[in-house]
Amino acid sequence: MDGGGGGQSSHPQSMSIRKFVCHAGAGATAGAIAATFVCPLDVIKTRLQVHGLPEASQSGARGSVIITSLQNIIKNEGLKGLYRGLSPTILALLPNWAVYFTLYEQLKGLLTSLDDNGGQLTIGANMVAAAGAGAATAITTNPLWVVKTRLQTQGMRTGVVPYTGVLSALRRIVHEEGLRGLYSGVLPSLAGISHVAIQFPAYEKIKSYMAEKEKTTVDHLSPADVAIASSISKVLASIMTYPHEVIRSRLQEQGQVRNEVQYEGVIDCIRKVFQKEGVPGFYRGCAANLLRTTPSAVITFTSYEMMHRFLQQVLPPDTKSSEACPKSDGQVKSRPDNRGNVEDNKQSQTHSNKITPSIPLGNK
């Protein structure tokens, strides 16, 4: 990309530095904004997943679980308790998006070279690329998600020495549990990649429908339209894949209490949750999760799209990639050819990597 003029990348999906910065910068910024905004609901959701209903709500009126949880946290831990686990979440965002985009682009390039479809990937191929990148991202960032889960739930453990921060948690987990502790819950996280298979097609179909109805392209939809498409697709995917989050949270949290290991693995956890709590046990915190993920998806998708457009405007163009595009035979396309395909490029934005990276990556 920054080498000499000839033949740095032979396929059309190679990613320039500017493109990478636009996508990763927009993704990390959008994720940070959303994570900060919905962190209190994330804390409540995680605690409900791990510890079940708060004491005051077990005999109280239905529908008061979230309010009771908020009151308990503020009363016992102060406002700070509502933002437990935010630090590892923010720290995970940059590697999360960087790893995702790097692998996503490589997989897209590979699939494009294997599929003679004019450089435009099908939804199925796009999903394969997104799922593969999401799986690699989940594995890479799992230690930070383990820390996040434990920081969010440690306020409910009375007999445990609390972690003082992210580095303290990482050191203690490695010392007390070994590297295996950093990857507790990774299998349910990988299963959560199925989230992509539901949310991505739904999001793209809704956006395409809206674009067709408004006689425009998906690249020019309003923020309100993007918000509607993202929220509907997110709710659908969240409900269908929620049980894996409960299993993941319980496996990630249990290592903090060395002498109270309840679950020997994923299968054992599923069996015990079902035996003790039935099907409702797999949906503990689902209401809080929907209250969290719906605005989170709206904020993430919308701010990602807007930030990406902003970065494209303010960052200087990649002169070497914009002035000319090398072809496989070593010839060079002139700029007029690219201009002539502007409308085609707009129509293909539905399948471009600009949209797919907004998909939540396995965990969050």
Instruction: Quote the pTM value.
Output: 0.69
Q: Report the distance separating Cα 97 and Cα 94, nearest Å.
A: 5
Domain range summary for the chain, segments of one domain joined by +? 17-192+242-317+330-358
**Residues 309, 329: Cα–Cα separation, whole Å:** 33
Give me the residue label for tokens 């109805």.
213
Is pLDDT larger for residue 329 or for residue 78? 78
- Cα separation, 133 vs 331, in Å, equals 32
What would the pLDDT profile of 153-197 be if each residue is shown by its tens digit?
887 766 777 888 899 999 999 998 888 889 988 999 888 888 877
Three-state DSSP class for residue 14: coil
pLDDT in tens, 92-108: 887 887 788 778 878 88
Give the separation between CA 67 and CA 146, rounded to whole angstroms: 26
CATH superfamily of this structure's domain 17-192+242-317+330-358:
Mitochondrial carrier domain (1.50.40.10)
Torsion of Cα atoms, 131 then 133 then 136 then 142, to 10°: -80
pLDDT at 32 exceeding the cut of 80:
yes
pLDDT band of 258, cuts 50, 70, 90: low
Q: What is the pLDDT of residues 271-324, one digit of tens each?
A: 999 999 899 899 988 888 888 877 887 788 788 888 888 888 888 886 655 444
Q: Is the pLDDT of residue 45 over 70?
A: yes
